[in-house]
């Protein structure tokens, strides 16, 4: 395995734009020692930009969350990501690639300056964020530039693509080194410039440990799984203990000079067109309509997850033909008002303008509207956008533990841990709603009869299930709980095959909806012309300009090393 030296971390610049940025930074850093014009950016100014970039990675709106949420069947789109058709030149994926490598430069600068100045807490945070960013890069693309990624000043304009397994090992090392730096605790302590934990050493260490356990779980079926390292981490037992430990980025309602609202909210509620359709597959599982899992068990989170513009029984307004009774809808449930389009649809009603009929993401995933069951008219004022960008949370961590117990890598009772995870998931919804600034009256979920009954029903299904079905239940509940955070869902599906996703080529009927109105769903109107992409294309510009780049991959066969 190639040895990757930490001194080389960072970003290379291939385009003229990035060369200009690099030149500009050099001019800034090369000025004389005038105390009114510092030669280095202060640590407390570097860290906020790094953390904003970290939160942006695989987010929505400008980033690849738009693709990931379709690939994990929580949203549907009319764009190329439908039918797993994302291309090598996709702008949103390229944005993530550029964001990643620009961020590495800042992280390298932060850790180098903090090392020189003896500010160990800043250094430790930088090391942990580097580990997070590079693990996500591997999870997205596999092999990526890393060891030579900051070598532009030494003449390297075509950095090699490093082996993904080697990068993952460095990520593990960085997490340990970051913890050591934090425990040293020397120098200046971050405060408000640390958007994640306000400079709390204990919370950063909990995150490093919890995230490391997630990475171990992710690679548990690969030859690189380190049993002794895993056992030592479990024995240390310093993990997330409540949702106050969540690794998430807090959004605000500020609009100017920078719009600080949740990106999914901005994309969903801020435009004239419908950008994010809620997946009917997701809808039917939460409604208890799917015949293979959670059948007859309706999820109490539904009104928190999406909001229907149509009231129950209200006929579609945009395209519906009242004279014939034809709703002209690709997917519409008259009993609830839910209105969307199906994955892979080629039906005659897929591409209609449905701005006043479509169902929108709700208060939990993006700070949109809580669904009162009476319908509404979507505007930017329908919600606040003041909900966090959830990256890795306590409830998600509990699902990781439940999986590890279920497969025999951790001691404990999987059913008990699943109950803890579900309970924490409902508490997370309550926490997000309470902080959203909504003017609506929104019921508390935790402890309600509906929630208690739901958890009891899932537990009963779990107890009666086979070992494999129990794993499916854990992963599917995790998929439901993490709505709005699709990166780990993409990882989970590739690792385990769960949750089971919609398949236009599968058995009929694909969907269970029947309004009994003479206009049934037609299965032949959903197709799948592309295979599932196990990774994403490398940006085509990178392939074209980097002389050390490999040939473009086939993402339907090229897999991350932990994907078995």
Give the model confidence (pLDDT) of 110-154 as tens digits: 999 999 999 999 999 999 999 999 999 999 999 999 998 877 778
Per-residue confidence at 1, pLDDT binned at 50, 70, 90? very low
Phi, psi of 145, deg, nearest 5? -65, 135
Q: Would you place residue 29 in the very low, low, confident or very high pLDDT band (cuts 50, 70, 90)?
A: very low
Instruction: Give the distance, in angstroms, between the CA of residue 398 and the centroid of all CA atoms in the same chain.
Output: 17
Cα(328)–Cα(308) distance, integer angstroms? 17
* pLDDT reading at 31 higher than 70: no
The predicted-structure confidence for 434-456, as pLDDT tens digits, reads as follows 999 999 999 999 999 999 999 99
Q: For 175, which DSSP code?
A: H
Compute how many other C-beta atoms are within 10 angstroms of the C-beta atom of residue 255. Answer: 12
pLDDT of 152 reads 75
**Contact assessment for residue 90 and residue 158, using Cβ atoms and an 8 Å cutoff:** no
CA distance 556 to 528: 14
- Res 24 pLDDT > 60: no
Task: Give the number of C-alpha atoms closer than 13 A to the C-alpha of residue 532, restricted to the C-beta side.
Answer: 17
Query: Distance between CA 102 and CA 14 in Å, rounded?
Result: 11
Q: How far is CA 139 from the centre of its chain?
A: 12
pLDDT confidence of residue 2: 36
For position 37, what pLDDT does the model report? 56
The band of 34, judged by pLDDT with boundaries at 50, 70 and 90, is low
Torsion of CA 444, 446, 448, 453, to 10 degrees: 140
* CA distance linking residue 518 with residue 511, whole number of Å: 16
C-alpha closest to that of 427 among 406, 396, 458, 400: 396
- Region 240-252: mean pLDDT is 98
- Give the E-state strand segments of 77-220 in sequence order: 144-145, 161-162
For the residues of 358-427, what is the DSSP string, one character each?
--EEBHHHHS-B---SS-----GGG------EEEE-HHHHHHHHHHHHHTTSS-S-HHHHHHHHHHHHHH
- Identify the DSSP state of 332: E
Partners of 389 in beta bridges: 249
CB 361 within 8 A of CB 484: yes
pLDDT of res. 149: 87
Distance (Å, rounded) from C-alpha 295 to C-alpha 288? 5
Q: Mean pLDDT over all residues of the chain?
A: 93
- Token pair listed for 162: 């490093």
Quick one: tokens of 218?
A: 């992710």
Q: What is the mean pLDDT of residues 491-520?
A: 97
Taking the model in full, what pTM does it have? Answer: 0.93
Give the distance from CA 438 to its chain's centroid. Answer: 24
pLDDT of residue 150: 76
Q: What's residue 35's pLDDT?
A: 55
Beta bridge partners of 144: 162
Q: Distance between CA 179 and CA 202 in Å, rounded? A: 10
What is the structure's pLDDT at 155? 83
**Residue carrying the six token digits 């949702």:** 243
Q: What pLDDT does residue 7 have?
A: 33
Helix, strand, coil % over all residues of the chain, rounded to 5: 45, 5, 50
Beta bridge partners of 333: 338
Q: How far apart are CA 50 and CA 123, in angstroms?
A: 13
Give the pLDDT mean for 165-190. Answer: 97
Q: Which two tokens stand for residue 548?
A: 């050390």
Q: What is the DSSP letter of 560?
A: -
- CA–CA dist 265, 460 (Å, integer): 36
Whole-number pLDDT of residue 77: 97
The share of the chain scoring above pLDDT 90, in percent, equals: 90
Residue predicted with more confidence, 516 or 39 = 516
Which range, of 10-24, 302-316, 508-522, 533-547, averages the lowest pLDDT? 10-24
SS3 (DSSP) at 76: strand
For range 49-67, the mean pLDDT: 97
* Nearest CA-CA partner of 163 in 4, 344, 282, 25: 4
Each residue of 516-528: pLDDT tens digit? 999 999 999 999 9
Q: How far apart are CA 168 and CA 173, in angstroms?
A: 9
> What pLDDT, on a 0 to 100 scale, did the predictor assign at position 36?
58
pLDDT for position 153:
74
Nearest residue to 47 (alpha-carbon basis) of 188, 149, 179 = 188
Task: Please give the helix or strand (H or E) that residue 314 lies within, else none.
Answer: none
DSSP letters, 418-434, are HHHHHHHHHHHHHHHHH
Query: pLDDT tens digits for 214-231?
Result: 999 999 999 999 999 999
What is the average per-residue pLDDT within 370-377?
98
Give the pLDDT score at 10: 34
Asked whether residue 23 carries a pLDDT value surpassing 80, the answer given is no
Interatomic CA distance for residues 73 and 62, integer angstroms: 19
3-state secondary structure of 144: strand
pLDDT of residue 161: 97
Beta-strand runs (E) in 90-213: 144-145, 161-162
């Amino acid at each position: 395995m190639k040895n990757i030296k930490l001194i080389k971390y960072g970003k290379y610049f291939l385009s003229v734009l990035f060369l200009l940025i690099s030149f500009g930074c050099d001019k800034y850093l090369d000025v004389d020692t005038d105390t009114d014009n510092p030669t280095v950016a202060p640590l407390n100014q570097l860290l906020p930009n790094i953390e904003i970039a970290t939160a942006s990675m695989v987010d929505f709106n400008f980033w690849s969350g738009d693709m990931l949420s379709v690939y994990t069947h929580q949203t549907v789109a009319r764009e190329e990501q439908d039918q797993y058709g994302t291309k090598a030149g996709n702008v949103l994926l390229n944005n993530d690639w550029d964001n990643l490598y620009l961020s590495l430069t800042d992280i390298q600068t932060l850790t180098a300056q903090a090392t020189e100045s003896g500010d160990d807490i800043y250094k430790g945070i930088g090391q942990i964020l580097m580990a997070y960013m590079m693990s996500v890069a591997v999870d997205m693309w596999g092999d990526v530039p890393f060891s030579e990624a900051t070598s532009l000043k030494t003449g390297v304009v075509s950095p090699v693509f490093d082996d993904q397994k080697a990068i993952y090992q460095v990520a593990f090392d960085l997490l340990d080194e970051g913890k050591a730096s934090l425990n040293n605790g020397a120098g200046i302590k971050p405060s408000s410039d640390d958007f994640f934990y306000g400079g709390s050493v204990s919370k950063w260490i909990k995150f490093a440990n919890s995230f490391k356990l997630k990475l171990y779980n992710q690679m548990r079926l690969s030859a690189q799984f380190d049993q002794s390292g895993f056992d030592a981490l479990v024995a240390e037992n310093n993990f997330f203990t409540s949702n106050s430990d969540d690794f998430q980025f807090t959004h605000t309602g500020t609009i100017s000079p920078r719009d600080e609202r949740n990106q999914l909210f901005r994309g969903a509620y801020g435009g004239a067109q419908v950008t994010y359709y809620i997946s009917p597959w997701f809808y039917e599982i939460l409604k208890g309509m799917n015949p293979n899992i959670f059948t007859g068990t309706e999820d109490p989170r539904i009104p928190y997850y999406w909001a229907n513009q149509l009231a129950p029984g209200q006929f579609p307004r945009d395209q519906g033909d009242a004279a014939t009774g034809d709703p002209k809808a690709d997917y519409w449930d008259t009993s609830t008002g839910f209105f969307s389009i199906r994955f892979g649809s080629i039906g005659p009603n897929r591409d209609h303008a449905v701005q006043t009929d479509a169902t929108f993401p709700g208060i939990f995933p993006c700070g949109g509207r809580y669904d009162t069951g009476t319908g509404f008219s979507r505007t930017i004022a329908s919600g606040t956008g003041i909900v966090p960008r959830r990256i890795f949370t306590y409830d998600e961590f509990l699902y990781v533990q439940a999986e590890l117990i279920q497969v025999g890598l951790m001691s404990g009772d999987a059913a008990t841990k699943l109950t803890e995870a579900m309970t924490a998931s409902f508490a997370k919804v309550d926490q997000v709603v309470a902080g959203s600034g909504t003017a609506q009256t929104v019921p508390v979920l935790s402890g309600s009869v509906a929630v208690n009954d739901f958890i009891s029903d899932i537990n009963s299904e779990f107890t009666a299930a086979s070992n494999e079905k129990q794993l499916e239940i854990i992963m599917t509940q995790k998929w439901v709980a993490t709505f709005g955070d699709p990166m780990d869902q993409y990882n989970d599906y590739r690792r385990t095959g769960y949750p089971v996703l919609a398949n236009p080529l599968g058995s009929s009927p694909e969907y269970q909806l029947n309004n009994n109105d003479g206009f049934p769903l037609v299965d032949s109107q959903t197709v799948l012309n592309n295979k599932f992409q196990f990774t994403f294309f490398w940006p085509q510009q990178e392939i074209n300009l980097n002389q050390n780049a490999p040939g473009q991959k086939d993402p339907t066969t090229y897999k991350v090393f932990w994907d078995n």
